[in-house]
Amino acid sequence: MPGKLSARNQMKGRITKVKKDNVVGLVEIELSTPAKVTSVITADSIEEMNLKVGDEVTAVIKSTEVMISK
């Protein structure tokens, strides 16, 4: 993960689904433990990070948000 981040709730996994429209997108991540996390992020973020099915990412959970790090 680039840089430092104060969030301690970080889970590595693999993207299993990417769905987006003009404004927001949904990224589904299958975690290494039997669980899934779904995050709604902007379509721009999906494009800028070039997120696609099969990518290994980290779900970062802080308060009421789930962010994605690649």
Residues 6+ apart with CB under 8 A from 53: 15, 16, 17, 18
Q: What's the pLDDT at 63?
A: 67
The better pLDDT of the pair 7, 47 is held by: 47
User: Looking at the predicted structure, is the pLDDT value of residue 53 above 80?
Assistant: yes
Could you give the domains of the chain? Answer: 9-69 (2.40.50.100)
Please state the pTM of the whole predicted model: 0.59
Amino acid identity, residue 56? Answer: E
Mean pLDDT: which of 4-8, 49-53, 56-60 is highest? 49-53
State mean pLDDT over 18-35.
88
